[in-house]
């Protein structure tokens, strides 16, 4: 989904990445989302400020940000501070949007979602389930999926306590639509080795169960 506009999905293509810096654990910062809307939040999108896309739902297919609860994620961005846009959708379809939130290395980031961020337009969004399977013998500590029009890796799609074990799957949700959108993916294993590839996202490439299955494998190891 484009910010304030359309929707998307995906197919797998192996292409070189460009414009993105190498992973360094010391560059990670933590963002904590706090739900004070009074309702459970079903979807959260954290989009780099330099991207025109909302990208994947970071809660995934199995998590909900319950009312009066919080959830933390790691983020990776190139400068000492960068802007991000946030969109959350609750159980009733209400949409909450925060633009140009400044993320800074000076402190951990706290995003409080309240009714003051309620947006008048509620997008009708369909989703496809996207399963990333770790087909290596190493535990994946981080999985970043960032729109290719951004110069940031953005958010780790697992929360700050989650990892992806060998031959386990990470189930995410991507907005479904007719346009093709490109995403860069970086998984980082327990040895800080990077597995990178690019996805082109389109609604025609889900299987009969409306799932797109994507391996993370040794062939994706960065040089």
In a structure prediction context, what are the per-residue pLDDT tens digits for the chain, which is 223 residues long?
A: 677 533 333 434 444 443 444 567 888 999 999 999 999 999 999 999 999 999 999 999 889 999 999 999 999 999 999 999 999 999 999 999 999 999 999 988 999 999 999 998 777 777 888 999 999 999 999 999 999 999 999 999 999 999 999 999 999 998 877 788 889 999 999 999 999 999 987 778 788 888 899 999 999 999 7
> In the chain, which residues fall in CATH 2.60.40.2890?
27-119
Transcribe 55-123 into DSSP letters: --BTTTTT--B-TT-EEEEEEE-SSSEEEEEEEEEETT--EEEEEEEEEETTS-EEEEEEGGGEES---
CB 113 within 8 A of CB 45: no
What does each C-alpha distance from 45 to 57, 123, 136 come to in angstroms?
Answer: 5, 13, 28
Q: Specify the CATH number of the domain 27-119.
A: 2.60.40.2890
Between the two ends of the chain, the Cα-to-Cα distance in Å is: 32
Q: Specify the CATH number of the domain 8-21+126-220.
A: 2.60.40
pTM of the predicted structure, to 2 decimals: 0.89
């Amino acid at each position: 989904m484009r910010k304030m506009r359309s929707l998307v999905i995906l197919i797998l293509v192996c292409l070189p990445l460009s414009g993105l810096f190498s992973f360094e654990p010391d560059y990670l910062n933590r963002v904590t989302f706090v739900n004070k809307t009074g309702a459970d939040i079903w979807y959260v999108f954290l989009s780099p400020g330099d991207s025109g896309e909302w990208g994947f739902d970071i809660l995934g297919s199995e998590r909900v940000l319950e009312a009066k609860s919080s959830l933390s994620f790691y983020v990776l961005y190139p400068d000492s501070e960068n802007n991000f846009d946030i969109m959350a959708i609750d159980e009733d379809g209400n949409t909450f949007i925060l633009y140009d939130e400044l993320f800074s290395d000076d402190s951990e980031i706290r995003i409080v979602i309240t009714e003051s961020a309620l947006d008048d337009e509620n997008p009708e969004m369909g989703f496809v389930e996207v399963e990333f399977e770790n087909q290596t013998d190493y535990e994946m500590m981080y999985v970043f999926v960032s729109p290719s029009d951004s110069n940031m890796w953005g958010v780790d799609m697992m929360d700050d306590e989650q990892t992806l074990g060998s031959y386990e799957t990470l189930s995410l949700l991507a907005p479904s639509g007719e346009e093709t959108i490109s995403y860069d993916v970086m998984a980082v294993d327990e040895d800080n080795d990077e597995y990178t590839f690019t996805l082109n996202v389109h609604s025609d490439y889900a299987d009969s169960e409306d799932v797109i299955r994507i391996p993370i494998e040794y062939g994706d190891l960065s040089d």
